[in-house]
Structure 1
Amino acid sequence: MLNRLQLTATVEREAELRYTPAGLPVLEMWLKHQSRQREANLERDVACEIQAVLIGKQAPQWGGKLAGQQVAVSGFLAQRSLRNPRLVLHIEHVEFVKG
């Protein structure tokens, strides 16, 4: 069983909406996260950039609206493809973070 990942991040950029050969809409984006976390009873700064993808009926509704925005996303991690082991966050839920 895969655990769901939750992340608050800024959408650094998003690619143009595209479609798979099966006709599924796909929206790829790159997220930048920065926060302060507690580890071993010590505070530490955490920063990362991660590639993410939104596939399915949500992709067209979010396309062109996310770049530069701070969002809260949840989903799961999976390798990019059978031949590419790089991890990609597969977003299942996205919402804007009110700042």
Structure 2
Amino acid sequence: MTDNCLVITGELIRAPRYRTSPGGIEHCQFWLSHRSHQIEAGLSRSAQCSIGVVASGQEFRQELLPLSMGCQVRVRGFLQTQRSRNGESKLILHAQQIELLS
């Protein structure tokens, strides 16, 4: 299987953190909160979630500079499990495209 693609819009709920890995790759991490109404089984329902996003590489430098808490963005990328230091697993969206909406 090769399909692993997610497109989601939302609001930044944590200020972006910028860092450079020991290998020299630039990373930006932020949390996105999504809220919408979706149709399921013919009925409207509220959908909400929060997800961590990582954007890696210099190609995102210009796109990420205006990001701040409260910004609305659309992110397209793939999901990957990340383990925290205490062993918890969580899904992280690895951005391949970021569009600033506001």
Q: Alignment identity in percent? A: 34
How do residues 32-51 of structure 1 correspond to structure 2 at under 5 angstroms? 32-51=33-52
CA distance in 1, matches of 2:65, 2:88: 27
User: What runs of 5+ residues in structure 2 fail to find an aligned partner?
Assistant: none
Question: Which stretch of structure 1 is more off in the superposition, 10-19 or 22-31?
Answer: 10-19
The aligned counterpart of 1:80 is 82
Matched residue SS, 2:89: coil
Q: In angstroms, what is the RMSD of aligned CA positions?
A: 1.9
Preserved contact between residue 18 and residue 26 of structure 1 (Cα < 8 Å): yes
Structure 1 stretches lacking a partner, 5+ long: none
> Conserved in 2, the CA contact under 8 Å of 1:8 and 1:70?
yes
Partner of 2:28: 27
TM-score if structure 1 supplies the norm length? 0.86
Check conservation: 2:27, 2:57, Cα contact below 8 A: yes
Alignment of 1:48-59 (within 5 A): 48-59=49-60
Tell me how far apart the structure 1 counterparts of residues 101 and 64 of structure 2 sit (CA, whole Å): 17
Flag as ranges the 4+ runs of structure 1 deviating above 4 A: 81-84
Using the TM superposition, give the Cα deviation of residue 63 of structure 1 relative to its aligned residue in structure 2, in angstroms.
3.9
Shift of 1:84: 5.0
Number of equivalent positions: 98
Residue 71 of structure 1, CA deviation: 0.7
Partner of 2:16: 15
